[in-house]
Amino acid sequence: MFKMTDSRYALPIMASLAVLLLFIAPVHAASTLPSNGEFTAANAELPDFFNFDENYYTVYGGPDVTATLLGDNEFERGDTVTLNLDLMNKGLITGFRSEEDDFYLTQLEQKLQNTEMSYEAQRTTAIGIVAVLTPLDPAVKVKSGPQEAGTLVSGQMTESPVSFNIEISDNTEAGGYPMRLDLYYGYQKNVQINGDNETDLGITNMEVGLWYDMGTQNTTFDIYVKDEARFEVTNVTGELYPDSESMIYVTYENVGDLPAKDATVRISAADPFSTTDDQAFLGTLGSGESTVAVFKLKVDDLAVPKAYALNSEVKYEDIDGHDQISDTVKIKTDVLPASANGDGPNMFVIIGAGVVIVLAVAGYFVYRSRSSKKVGDE
């Protein structure tokens, strides 16, 4: 709890009795809230100008604001969700000490003493609560700023929950992630009272001084990221060329925590690719297991040779028998220049065949020429 040790503002309010409200401004002194999250009163000294000379009681205790997370606390990777928290003030007066000897009190002083105690009972009220949620792991982000929760007297709960939007990273590992909730509020620290005389109509010229301080509490709770199957592409082989149709071989690995049963993968072929074979059966993959999917892709004749990425999704059955669809899994591949096409050697075959034909034709004419010469000689 941050302990405030300086008073800087005073506001007199005159009605049937004069009430002086003294507010406390934050300064440098601070201490840590106990691990149980219960309220701890500050040990600040009364300011010099807070002095009506009559402080009949020193009272102990104060607000104790607790938080309850509503709904599920288990989510999936990549989720953006809203956490709803109910706040309740369970503040108690834990004790008090009389600063005066009751035996020597006058009737007026006894009346003032009783009146002070009625004000001291308000010490347990948490005034103007502000809640701040902070993740204790970078895998979780809080997208909401501080939230106001109003004022709660002891035994009261917020009428509507305090809400925070959080975002869970796509790469978050399964398990628990701690969240810290800090609560800031004002509370009545002390009361002093004075008056001139007691009459049948009450105490005349009664003055009540209410000194307010600031308190904090914090609590830590966990949210959980579910175990599930997750997939990554670990290898891609196969050569793709403009204006050609080829096979690519894609290795999928289950990098998640749970098995995937009867998994099927589908690719989304976008320009410059097209396919009539966009699905492949992966089978059942346990955690850490991998298998190869084969796809036939046709590349447009105007495709620019460079690196490309195709999207794919894996549909599978989880351990509870429910159908699931994975996050998008990228397949990275390259379109190679047409000059590097494997059809290149066929050109040599064609050229070679042409040379053979030419030689055959030339041989034929040589043969004819010799045959004609031989007939002429005869």
Binned at pLDDT 50, 70 and 90, residue 367 comes out as: low
Dihedral pair phi/psi, residue 117, rounded to 5°: -60, -35
Domains and CATH numbers, the chain: 7-225 (2.60.40.10), 231-340 (2.60.40.10)
- Residues ≥6 apart with Cβ < 8 Å to 156: 88, 89
- How high is the pLDDT of residue 212? 87
Across the range 288-316, mean pLDDT stands at: 96
pLDDT tens track for 89-137:
999 888 766 655 555 666 666 666 667 677 778 889 999 999 999 999 9
pLDDT tens-digit series, residues 202-256: 666 667 777 889 999 999 999 999 999 999 999 999 999 999 999 999 999 999 9
Q: Which residues, in sequence order, are CB contacts of 320 under 8 Å at separation 6+? A: none
Whether residue 271 is predicted with pLDDT greater than 70 in this model: the reply is yes
Mean pLDDT of 263-274: 95
In b/e form, how buried is each residue of 258-296, taking b as 16+ CB within 10 angstroms?
bbbbebebebebeebbebeebebebeebeeeebbebebe
| Residue 347's pLDDT band (cuts 50, 70, 90) | very low
Beta strands in 238-367 (DSSP E): 244-254, 260-268, 273-277, 279-285, 290-299, 307-317, 323-325, 329-334
Mean pLDDT of the chain: 78
Q: Which two tokens stand for residue 12?
A: 């007199």
Poorest-confidence range of 10-14, 115-119, 196-200? Answer: 10-14
Least confident interval from 153-162, 196-205, 207-216, 354-363: 354-363
Mean pLDDT (whole number) for 41-63: 61
The DSSP result for 87-132, as a single string, is EEE--EEEEEEESS-GGG--HHHHHHHHHHHHHHGGGG-EEEEEEE
Which two tokens mark 22? 């003294």
pLDDT surpassing 60 at residue 365: no
Provide the terminal-to-terminal Cα distance of the chain, rounded to the nearest Å: 129
Name the band, by pLDDT with cuts 50, 70 and 90, for residue 287: very high
Alpha-carbon gap, residue 185 to 38, rounded angstroms: 13
Report the percentage of the chain scoring pLDDT > 90: 54
| Averaged pLDDT for residues 41-60 | 57
Does the structure show a pLDDT above 90 at 185?
yes
361 burial type by CB count under 10 A (0-12 exposed, 13-18 middle, 19+ buried): exposed
pLDDT for 282 equals 96
Mean pLDDT score, 336-344:
72
- Which has more confidence, 118 or 88? 88
Q: What was the pLDDT predicted at 311?
A: 96
| pLDDT at position 95 | 75
Residue written as token pair 């190679």 = 336
Mean pLDDT, residues 61-71 taken together: 94
Mean pLDDT, residues 289-293 taken together:
97
**170 or 303: which leads in pLDDT:** 303
Would you state the pLDDT for residue 15?
Answer: 29
Bridge partners of residue 82, in order along the sequence: 165
Percent of the chain residues topping a pLDDT of 70: 66
d(CA 45, CA 81) in angstroms, rounded, equals 45
Strand, coil or helix: 335: strand
Strands 207-225 and 18-24: parallel
